[in-house]
Structure 1
Amino acid sequence: MLTLSSAVLWGVAHVAADRRKTGIALMAVYLLMLAGILTLFTAFSSRLLSLAVQPRWLIVLTVALVVIALAWTGVIIWSFLLVRPPSTDTVGRFLTTTLTLALCALILIPTVYAARLSYLSRDVVNSLFSSGGAAVPADDPWHGARHVNFLLLGGDSAPGRPGVRTDSVTVASVDTSTGATTLFGLPRNLQRIQFPAGPARDRFPAGFTGDGPDTPGLLNEIFQFAEDHPDMVPGVPKGQRGPALIKQTVSEILGIPVSYYALIDMKGFAQMIDAVGGVQVTIKQPIVYGKYREGLLPAGTRRLSGEEALWFGRSRTDSDDYVRMGRQKCLLNALAKQADPMTVLNSFERLATLTKRFISTDIPQEVLPAVVDLSQKMKGTKMRSLSFVPPLIDTANPDWRLIRREVTEALDEQRRPTGKPVTAAPREPAAVQSPDQPVTLDATCA
């Protein structure tokens, strides 16, 4: 009991063994350590996630955990040696030794697990996010910008389809002060794309028309086209040409600066959903899926596996690209709400492996703490969506001025503290596939 008590409060066994000064000193150290940990998890709780994406702090955290665990284990063993039964009490010695070893394991095993998670986190950050850029001011990481815009791409690099086609193109525009987010969806079959001024526009002054029957000139071809034609973005190394041109192009289309991009391979997307135990969505109409129509997702609210979620977001059987775009945003909305910390933690090792394998991005390490802080603000807001699809936009002959005007109005409405409630048009499913104003995803996807 004294050994067990010393594991809960350092120094108890020492006081019982008439080593009062040592016991009181251990109690004081323990209480100070406990107060420090409680302060860290209360007063600085909002900063903990930010520290978790900084490799330097991950090392500090790992070292601190190991030192505390070793000190704790040392106190337990020291306490046991002071109060253990006499050598003649064989049964007592065996039982108390077993208890002491169990207490040490209770301290060391979680520490080893936490150190493992810390190592994996550091490995993911170093593998996925580049470093070496300019320092980001903590008080103004977005340099006074009202919105920061992230380009989210879903790519298909399946066998038989050489290269990467970005079939899902969405810009998440996040208010830097409130976290309010609007998703702007661009259809993959958008044509006559206007490139920004430079070599790409010089090559296609009348709009992107592709290069032969394999590239008819759609939005989803630009990423790979840039990779295959270095003259489109001269001076940019292979592997970065596609991201550079698609970011510039989407910025030109929407009239807002795209700061960063993230591309996920569709196959990896399905595996990541499986890793977190699936995703729950509401299916409004039955969805046929599979290359040979071998599957069916019935209507209703249900939890989908990774493969089913992938088809939920990609199937065009008995529908079209625009309905599919609406489902993709509902899927993003559901994932954002359901990926709670415990779910992610339980699947962390597998998610870390999949992240390194299937995701690419140009978000630098120095910006990650600000991105994490922004994501926490986003959780308390309702995500909205505006898709540039027919009848709002003719994908074969887009009205670029209208697109930019709609974006500006949507962001102004997002920023306004009070104003006319944003609702979907009363039609179904046209409220999802062709809205004339942003719609709240909570209402649209339910």
Structure 2
Amino acid sequence: MAGKQGRPSTGLSLALTLGSAVLWGLAHLWVGRRVTGAILMGIYVTLVAAIAAVLLGATPDLLSLAVQPAWLWIFALSAILFAAAAVAVIIRSYQLVQPESLSRPARYLSALAVGMVCTLVIVPMAYAARLAYVSQHVVTSVFAAETSPIPVDTWRGRHRVNLLLVGADAAANRVGVRTDSMTVASIDTGTGNTVLFGLPRNLENVPLPKGPARDRFPYGFEGESTYTPGLLNEIFQYAEDHPEMVPGIAKGHRGPTLLKQTISGITGLDVTNYVMVDMFGFAEIIDAMGGVKVSVKDPIVYGRQNEGLIRAGTRRLSGEEALWFGRARTYSDDYVRMGRQKCLMNAVAKQADPVTVLRSFEKLADATMHAVSTDIPQTLLPNLIDLAGKVKDAKIVSYQFVPPLINTGDPDYDLIKRKVAAVLEKTASASSSPAKSARSTRSARKSVRASLTNLDSACD
């Protein structure tokens, strides 16, 4: 038996200590403490097997836990406790197998070696706990707290969920926020197939929802001065500045509430939640990712004084370049810019892989907290994570309400509603059975086919 062979040499004792960090109980078995060694080894093997099973076989469930604050706290505490237990095992293992007599230099070197082994265990666990803490801070800072439970049928029987994606353009030389990019993402909750409906920022005479807003502007939003000529992108800030437009709604929520209601009326869709990204904060997110690769079809002049140029070709853009890729209108117009914005959104979504996120996690988290606002409740995040998994592997198409289809100075809002309905009918029939597809009206297909754009092919 190892316990009757005397103490091992210094090299062997350190090897056994290192081995005990990799497989708990190894040193205990060597010195003959079989029961303790077997228990430690069983605990360690069980933990490793459970973690491996979760990582390899339950990725969607793991992602859903990663957006729940309570589970993030549990994960952080578990990482700390595991590190503490591992350090205790390592130190005790060395005590059991250390040579009986060592010179002072040898003792110092051995202690240093054991300390390094402990550090190798502590550092990754501390980093994992830190990631969990930062994630918890992001979730609680960005997403709304919601005490009411999510029903078993998360989407309440709805076949589609409609989210408003807003790009906000605030600047030092401008009062308030302009929502210059507005897109409704209509997602099939069963398949993940998604249609992005792009609305121009300069739609005029926008019909407002019934109530105080429509009472003030019965013939459509008109603004109140030359600084607010009455465009769709002004409604958000106008509501924030005029509480009577959305009575009972707190400051900071008036703009999103009225904008969601207005766009619901324009499209005929039930827009339930919004996500707004400040464009300058968006540049910080892209820098934290290490840039974003996009296909630039034509050279883009950017900067307020036209001081920069993004050359044509497939390029990795910095945050500032990506910001201007999505904002620039020199030698182009709002509608070309809308197309670039969707390509940019698509590229960021595709390139934000787990390795990229982990590599710059804290920078991304900090940029996200400064750049993103939303009314999506924390309790809905696990279900959205599940839906996002479907969207990633599904078809994403874009439909733009731009000239000549829509005259932004005198929009046909009934036409917009009809087109939205026709697009959703076409996309639904395309993913259903051939028999059902054959029953869809040919006129609806023809009217939307030319305007539907597959983002992956359009942005290459």
Q: TM-score range by the shorter chain?
A: over 0.9
**SS of 1:259's equivalent?**
strand
Q: 1: distance between equivalents of 2:324 and 2:146?
A: 39
Which residue type is aligned with residue 208 of structure 2?
Answer: F
Q: How does 1:422-441 map to 2 (within 5 A)?
A: 436-441=450-455
Partner deviation per Cα, 1:249-294 (whole Å, 9 max, x = no partner): 0000010011101111111011111110010000111111111111
Check whether the contact 2:281–2:367 (CA below 8 A) recurs between aligned residues.
yes
User: Which of residues 85, 88, 95 is equivalent to 1:81?
Assistant: 95
Q: 2: distance between equivalents of 1:285 and 1:389?
A: 20
Q: 2: distance between equivalents of 1:94 and 1:233?
A: 71
Q: Aligned-pair distance for 1:92?
A: 4.5
User: Which of residues 103, 107, 118 is equivalent to 1:104?
Assistant: 118
Q: Aligned-pair distance for 1:296?
A: 0.8
User: Which of residues 380, 386, 405 is equivalent to 1:392?
Assistant: 405
Q: 2: distance between equivalents of 1:127 and 1:211?
A: 35
- The answer to whether the aligner puts 1:64 opposite 2:71 as a matched pair is no
Runs of at least 4 residues of structure 1 off by over 4 A? 89-92
**SS of 2:271's equivalent?**
coil
Q: Aligned-pair distance for 1:356?
A: 1.8
Q: 2: distance between equivalents of 1:75 and 1:236?
A: 56
Q: 2: distance between equivalents of 1:11 and 1:93?
A: 23
The number of residues matched between the two structures is 432
Q: Aligned-pair distance for 1:397?
A: 1.1
- The answer to whether the aligner puts 1:140 opposite 2:153 as a matched pair is yes
Q: Which residue of 1 aligns with 2:269?
A: 256
Which residue type is aligned with residue 188 of structure 1?
Answer: R
Partner deviation per Cα, 1:289-328 (whole Å, 9 max, x = no partner): 1111111111100000001001100100000000000000
Check whether the contact 1:191–1:218 (CA below 8 A) recurs between aligned residues.
yes
**SS of 1:391's equivalent?**
coil
Q: Which residue of 1 aligns with 2:373?
A: 360
Q: Aligned-pair distance for 1:95?
A: 3.7
**SS of 2:411's equivalent?**
coil
Q: 1: distance between equivalents of 2:143 and 2:86?
A: 36
User: Which of residues 395, 401, 404 is equivalent to 1:382?
Assistant: 395
Stretch of structure 1 that moved more, 337-346 or 86-95: 86-95
TM-score (norm. length: structure 2): 0.91
What's the C-alpha RMSD, in Å, of the aligned pairs? 1.6
User: Which of residues 20, 24, 28 is equivalent to 1:6?
Assistant: 20
Among the aligned pairs, what percent are the same residue?
A: 55
Partner deviation per Cα, 1:135-164 (whole Å, 9 max, x = no partner): 113x42111111111111111121110011
Q: 2: distance between equivalents of 1:343 and 1:409?
A: 38
User: Which of residues 126, 131, 136 is equivalent to 1:122?
Assistant: 136
Q: Which residue of 1 aligns with 2:197?
A: 184
Check whether the contact 2:163–2:272 (CA below 8 A) recurs between aligned residues.
yes
Check whether the contact 1:9–1:30 (CA below 8 A) recurs between aligned residues.
yes
Q: 2: distance between equivalents of 1:88 and 1:314?
A: 70
**SS of 1:145's equivalent?**
coil
Q: 1: distance between equivalents of 2:90 and 2:295?
A: 53
Larger Rg: 2
Q: Which residue of 1 aligns with 2:8?
A: none
- The answer to whether the aligner puts 1:170 opposite 2:183 as a matched pair is yes
Partner deviation per Cα, 1:322-352 (whole Å, 9 max, x = no partner): 0000000000000010001121122111222
Q: How does 1:296-445 map to 2 (within 5 A)?
A: 296-416=309-429, 417=431, 436-445=450-459
Q: Which residue of 2 aligns with 1:27?
A: 41
Q: 1: distance between equivalents of 2:101 and 2:153?
A: 66
Q: Aligned-pair distance for 1:91?
A: 5.2
Q: Aligned-pair distance for 1:436?
A: 4.2
Check whether the contact 2:292–2:316 (CA below 8 A) recurs between aligned residues.
yes
- The answer to whether the aligner puts 1:17 opposite 2:31 as a matched pair is yes
What residue ranges of structure 2 are gaps of 5+ in the alignment? Answer: 1-14, 438-447
Q: Which residue of 1 aligns with 2:168?
A: 155
Partner deviation per Cα, 1:6-47 (whole Å, 9 max, x = no partner): 111111111111111211111111111122212222332211
Q: 1: distance between equivalents of 2:308 and 2:56?
A: 48
What residue ranges of structure 1 are gaps of 5+ in the alignment? Answer: 421-433
Check whether the contact 1:86–1:93 (CA below 8 A) recurs between aligned residues.
no
Which residue type is aligned with residue 21 of structure 1?
Answer: V
